[in-house]
Amino acid sequence: METEFEIQCPYCGEMIWLEFYPQDGGHQEMIIDCEICCNPIMTSIRFDHEGHGDLIIDRAQ
């Protein structure tokens, strides 16, 4: 089961870690602030029935 994901901030390019939990729902969306540049990042993750996550990130509007 995947819960930790390393992503690259779409604003500053720095690598940051995010955690998501399948028990919080099969599809989750939220906006988080980059730990480095503080810009908002839109995250969308879908977990399959085995708990593997497919994460998509983008600049928040």
Give the containing element (helix H, strand E) for 49: none
Query: Is residue 1 pLDDT above 80, yes or no?
Result: no
Query: Is residue 12 pLDDT above 90, yes or no?
Result: yes
**What is the model's pTM?**
0.87
The rounded distance, in Å, linking the Cα atoms of 10 and 16 is 11
User: Which pLDDT band, with edges at 50, 70 and 90, does 37 fall under?
Assistant: very high
User: Which pLDDT band, with edges at 50, 70 and 90, does 3 fall under?
Assistant: confident
Closest CA to 16 of 46, 57, 52: 57
